[in-house]
Amino acid sequence: MIQLPLSKLSNVGTTIFSQMTQLANENEAINLSQGFPDFMPDHELLDHVDYFIKKGFNQYAPMGGMITLKEEITRKIENSHQAIYHPDSEVTVTAGGTQAIFTAVATFVKKDDEVIIFEPAYDCYEPTVELFGGVVKRFEMKAPDYAIDWTEVRNLVSDKTKMIIINNPNNPSGKILKENDLQELIKIVKDTSILILSDEVYENIVFDGKQHLSIARYPELKERTLLVASFGKLFHVTGWKIGYCAAPKALTNEFRKIHQFNVFSVNTPIQLALAAYMKNEDHYNNLGQFFQEKRDFLRKGLAGTSFGLLDCEGTYFQALTYDKISDKNDFDFASELTINHKVASVPFSPFYKNKRNDHVIRLCFAKKQETLERAIENLSRL
C-alpha cells in the first residue's frame, strides 16, 4: 500500500470553534461558542444583493475588488480614523478577514522570518506563519486584565523580526489597545523594516464610550501596516466571507501578487450590494450600541451567578472565569457545560501555544434576545 505524505500542517487539528459547534449540535445545546449571529441581517442589504444578481452582475469582479465598494471602504476609514487610502491602489477586497491575514503572511513571511503574536491569539495566525517557514514569537497576555508588557515585547524583537500581528479589539479577551500601547508599538518599530498586520475585524464593536484606536490613525504605523477588516462582523453576514485589506501602495502591490492566485476575486453582486448599503453610515455607526445592549443583558443576567465577569471593552464575546464552580481544565469544563447544561462556550486554552489554563471561557452574545435568555437560565443553575 502506498505511503501517503503528511501535509505541511499535519500537527494541526480541527479548530476549537468547529469542535464546540459540533458538540453543541450533537447535544442540542444553545450555541454561544462560534462567533456568528443567529439573527437575520438587514433586509435592505438582502434586497441590494437580490437586485444586483437579477441585474446580471454575476461574473468575475476585478481582481482588487469593485471600485464602488473600495470607494466606500476608503470613505469609512477616513471618517472613522482620519486616514487616507487610495481606493484603487491601496484597498483589496478579500474573501473574508482570514483570507486577508493568510495572504498577507504568505506575501511577506519567508523561511526563518520571525513573527510576534499576542496570546490569546486568533487561531489562524500561528499555523499560517509556520506554513511559510516563519518562526512565531509569543507574548502571553494573562487573565484577568490581558495587559501588554511592552518591555517584554521589545525583548522578542531581533534582526529576524519580519512582522508583528495585532488583534484589536482582541478575540477572545474583548480587550482594546490604548494610546500608550500604540505609542509603545511606534517606539519598537521605529527605524526598522518590521511590518505590522493589524486584525481589526471588530473595530466597530467597542463599548462604554471608548474609542477604537486603529493603526491607520498613526502615520508611523500606517506606512508599514496591512490593515484587515470584515463585513461579516460589520453587517451580521459571517457566511458571506467578505472583507478587505488596506495598505500603502507598495505593500498592496505585493499583496495582490499572491491574492490573484489565492482567490483571484470576490463575489461580485455582494460587493455591489455592500457598496450601495454603506452609503448610509447609520448602518455601521450604531453597531457598538447595538451589541452593548446585548453585552449588558448577558452580564446582568449572569451577575448573580458564580461566574466571574471579566472586562469586555469590544468584540461580541464575554469572557468568564469559573474557578468558583469547578477546578476542571477549561476544555473539560466547556464540554461539560455543553453536554450537561446545554450551553456551548469556547475555552481560552486553545488560544495559547502552551494551552495556558486560567479557568476562562468565552461566550458569544451576538444572539437573539430569546437565545440569551435561555442561556442565562441554564447557566444560572450552576
Are residues 370 and 38 in contact, defined by beta-carbon separation less than 8 angstroms? Answer: no
Question: At which of 238, 258, 280 does a domain end?
Answer: 280
pTM for the whole thing? 0.96
Q: Looking at the structure, tell me whether residues 216 and 330 fall in a common domain.
A: no
Q: Looking at the structure, tell me whether residues 85 and 231 fall in a common domain.
A: yes
Question: At which of 280, 307, 332 does a domain end?
Answer: 280
> Domain span at residue 105?
58-280
Q: Which CATH number does the domain housing residue 209 bear?
A: 3.40.640.10
Q: Is the peptide bond before 120 cis (omega within 30 degrees of 0)?
A: yes
Q: Which CATH number does the domain housing residue 338 bear?
A: 3.90.1150.10
Are residues 359 and 334 in contact, defined by beta-carbon separation less than 8 angstroms? Answer: no
The answer as to whether 367 is a domain residue is yes
Q: Looking at the structure, tell me whether residues 344 and 309 fall in a common domain.
A: yes
Angstrom distance (rounded) from CA 91 to CA 1: 49
Please list, in sequence order, all residues whose beta carbon lies within 8 angstroms of the beta carbon of residue 186, skipping any fewer than 6 positions away.
218, 220, 221
Cell numbers describing residue 97: 478577514
Question: At which of 247, 280, 313 does a domain end?
Answer: 280
Of 89, 96, 127, 115, give the one whose Cα is nearest residue 255.
Answer: 89
pLDDT in tens, the chain (382 residues): 788 888 989 888 889 999 999 999 999 999 999 999 999 999 999 999 999 999 999 999 999 999 999 999 999 999 999 999 999 999 999 999 999 999 999 999 999 999 999 999 999 999 999 999 999 999 999 999 999 999 999 999 999 999 999 999 999 999 999 999 999 999 999 999 999 999 999 999 999 999 999 999 999 999 999 999 999 999 999 999 999 999 999 999 999 999 999 999 999 999 999 999 999 999 999 999 999 999 999 999 999 999 999 999 999 999 999 999 999 999 999 999 999 999 999 999 999 999 999 999 999 999 999 999 999 999 999 9
The answer as to whether 3 is a domain residue is no
